[in-house]
Amino acid sequence: MEKNQKKSKGRAAEIRDYAISIGIAIAIAFLFRSYVFARANVDGPSMMSTLKDKDVIFVEKLSLYSKSIKRGEIVTFDSGNPTHDTYVKRVIGIAGDNLEIKDGNVYRNGEKLKESYLNPGMKTLGGSFLGVNKKYKVPEGYIFVMGDNRTVSLDSRYLGPISLKALNGHVILRAYPFNTMKIF
């Protein structure tokens, strides 16, 4: 009888150890996904041709804590709409930048942006927030974003500046489709 009890206690301890190990692994994975690195899907054409509909991307989140978002980076953020969709856009301006749209181009601090990521001939039109020939200074704690496919992108030209608090991370990798894998 004692031998069976020892075996039973041994198995119970082993099962408990496995359960604790699995629980710790799940907790670490959850913390990693929440605070360090996450996967996302691109939904829609607003970032074409850089990112296409159904691309799988990975975002890092550590730069959010240091508030080191840079011009030209591609970021994901909470849209603020009722369904809290996640949008993917390119950072055009950071706090203190003066932006203007004129002649189909974006000007930052008086200089025309060289936007090689746009398709040839792509013109930037104004929106309801930032119209053509209007100047806007990005306030502290905010960024100004635009999609690379300007004709269909719902971005800061319509939404206004995006709070750094709304950011989910910045895109560092397009992982799928595999033949277009790219590090940003």
Ranges of each domain in the chain: 1-35, 39-183
Residue 175: in which H helix or E strand, if any? strand 167-176
Predicted pLDDT at 17: 81
Provide the pLDDT for residue 2.
Answer: 59
Positions marked catalytic: 46, 89
Structure-token pair, residue 84 = 């809290």
Count Cβ atoms below 10 Å from residue 91 Cβ, excluding itself: 22
The class (CATH top level) of 39-183 is mainly beta
The pLDDT tens digits of the residues spanning 115-159 come to 999 999 999 999 999 999 999 999 999 999 999 999 999 999 999
- Which pTM was predicted? 0.80
**How far from chain centre, in Å, is Cα 32?**
16
Query: Which pLDDT belongs to residue 142?
Result: 96
pLDDT under 50: residue ranges of the chain: 1
Alpha helices (runs of H) in the chain, residue ranges in sequence order: 2-35, 62-66, 156-159
Phi-psi region at 174: left, alpha or beta (left = phi > 0; alpha = psi -120 to 50): beta
